[in-house]
Structure 1
């Protein structure tokens, strides 16, 4: 029987970064004379930057200048370095977790590494960190999840993905994995859980204590992880 594997998304799951990213996009687009609101950026959660730029153009008609794409990362990095926090309860959860785990994110490796370091949780993942830059297709394609499982010797049927975006949930389901929708970040909105369920989430959890209960029930962890 395959050993269980827990695959964590990074932004909005491990770290409370989605509001900061939305601010960064809003600032940079406005700087270049393109009106953009955080609500529009919120519709792109779970995508990699290249796909976000395309999606924003589809939603607003604003074509972002290719020569300025680096500005988005510079603004995002500054905000992450100054204000990023781990999601509430994740530290004790990871500290007591024995199940094999990894990160599979749409962010660049540079951003993932920075986020994990600033949040103080890099030690819990070591080199088991994967970006959609390593695969052909980003979320909602299953590529990144299948890639991560292969690297860690896991089977899709024995893997669970914790995601905060419909795109991520869709990718996990397409990979043949259990998908847990996480709504414990500060970017959570009315109807968030319902959107994750509509995308195929097998369960939704609003805190890490709820995640613990759900993973225990499904056999991915053996006992209570911590008081979260």
Structure 2
């Protein structure tokens, strides 16, 4: 019963924002320079930072600044603690791959990101067609690379779900060949193995990471960014 209650709470948190329009919260207070690389954190509540305000973006921002990189997080949303120097992002609680796909063109035109961090698909694991999620992700990737062909797109496998591990593993296994095919076609698409970076012990509610889990995500993103020349530094 306790496990079921925890699961229900997690599901409510994930779907609570699905029917709500995109809103802009507090304006980010940060210094931008002409040389700053525009990075768009893109996804659902895990990008938004459910359970831990700012989520992985807090530690990632600090690592980037500490590493001497000039970064401008971009997006129509903004939230996070004072330790997050730039709070802009495109993380939408409860959203699926298809919902991100329906809005991505306008976001890309508005914010013109040079690098995109995509972690999406968790909410698709609950729907009636999780098996179709890889195809939907492939369509989203194609839309992004067509609209922003010069941008670096980092596509992450999704983090574990405590009660749907088999479904998550199947989805994640399909992501690698999809990304490889896009890269082989000359697209600036890069795979990030986020699933292996976390365990269910790094989840606060069986779905969303706890502070330790978000910190692990930040490290994984940071290492991936540093491995691709030009993704976080001026060309």
TM-score scaled to structure 1, two decimals? Answer: 0.43
